[in-house]
């Protein structure tokens, strides 16, 4: 069985990134959405990222950005993948010459058919991510949603599906066993305080994924 893809998101300090790289995570996420406590600016990229990232990819997360905002981040030359959490059109997401990940916020009223329809609209996405819907935070809420929906979608989807929303070291193993996603994405579940990662929790989360 293939190893579950792991992304740790909302990293703001080089110590956090170094810890993630040393663990061997597949991707780290940098947030470029000013209202978020986890946000950084394009000018901060070189201060956050070490020179050597081994095989870890760098993901830049946006929420309804202007084209020039994305381009300013890409100008750093350090970004491997774009992540969009707003209402961006597929043509916009695909217009930067980089693979992209599109997130969908799952509401209590959402059904599988509506999420599948969303997936089909964003068929150009390299990954699709299921997260708990929140109109304000756009991810990183610390709350999970009904995993039965995700499990059904994981079994049917032709796209690489990433599970997010309320994952932490204690529940990630159960989530992987139940949903069997391509990957998992964590932010608040590995934090000491909002916007500051806990290195021990990062290690525990990574170990929880690998044990599943």
Confidence of residue 148 (pLDDT cuts 50, 70, 90): confident
Q: List the structure tokens of 64.
A: 């309804």
Spatial distance between the Cα atoms of 90 and 20, rounded to a whole number of angstroms:
30
* Average pLDDT, integer, range 15-22: 98
CATH class of the domain whose range is 5-211:
alpha beta
Instruction: Please state which of the ranges 3-12, 133-142, 171-180 shows the lowest mean pLDDT.
Output: 133-142
Return the domain boundaries, the chain: 5-211
- The pLDDT value given to residue 140: 47
pLDDT beyond 50 at 138:
no
Given a cut of 90, whether residue 27 has pLDDT beyond it is yes
Residue 23 has pLDDT above 90, yes or no: yes
Q: Which residue has the higher pLDDT, 111 or 55?
A: 55
Q: How far is CA 76 from CA 49, 115, 154, 183, in A?
A: 11, 34, 34, 26
Q: Pull the structure tokens for residue 185.
A: 């994405």
Longest CA pairwise span in the chain (Å):
45
Helices (H), 157-198: 172-179
| Whether the model pTM is above 0.95 | no
Tens digits of residue pLDDT in 39-50: 999 999 999 999
The 3-class SS string of 43-85 reads HHHHHHCCCCCCCCEEEEEECCCCHHHHHHHHCCCCCCEEEEC
Residue 145 banded pLDDT, cuts 50, 70, 90: low
Amino acid 139: pLDDT: 45
pLDDT at residue 175 tops 50 = yes
Strands 196-197 and 191-193: antiparallel
Q: How many other CB atoms are found less than 10 A from the CB of residue 111?
A: 10
pLDDT tens for 49-79 read 999 999 999 999 999 999 999 999 999 999 9
- Winning range, highest mean pLDDT, from 106-110, 149-153, 198-202: 198-202
């Amino acid at each position: 069985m293939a190893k579950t893809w792991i992304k740790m998101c909302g990293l703001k300090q080089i110590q956090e990134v170094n810890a993630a790289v040393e663990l061997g995570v597949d991707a780290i996420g940098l947030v470029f959405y000013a209202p978020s406590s986890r946000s950084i600016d394009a000018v901060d990229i070189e201060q956050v990222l070490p020179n050597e990232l081994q095989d870890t990819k760098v993901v830049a997360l946006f929420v309804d950005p202007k084209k020039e905002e994305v381009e300013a981040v890409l100008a750093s030359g350090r970004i491997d993948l774009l992540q969009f959490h707003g209402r961006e059109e597929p043509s916009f997401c695909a217009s930067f010459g980089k693979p992209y990940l599109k997130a969908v916020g799952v509401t209590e009223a959402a059904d599988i058919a509506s999420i599948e329809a969303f997936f089909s609209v964003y068929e150009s996405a390299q990954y699709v991510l299921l997260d708990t819907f929140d109109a304000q935070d756009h991810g990183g809420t610390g709350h999970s949603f009904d995993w039965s929906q995700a499990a059904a979608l994981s079994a049917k989807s032709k796209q690489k599906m990433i599970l997010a929303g309320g994952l932490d070291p204690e529940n990630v193993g159960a989530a992987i066993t139940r949903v069997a996603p391509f990957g998992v994405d964590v932010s608040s579940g590995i934090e000491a305080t909002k916007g500051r990662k806990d290195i021990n929790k990062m290690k525990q989360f990574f170990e929880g994924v690998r044990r599943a």
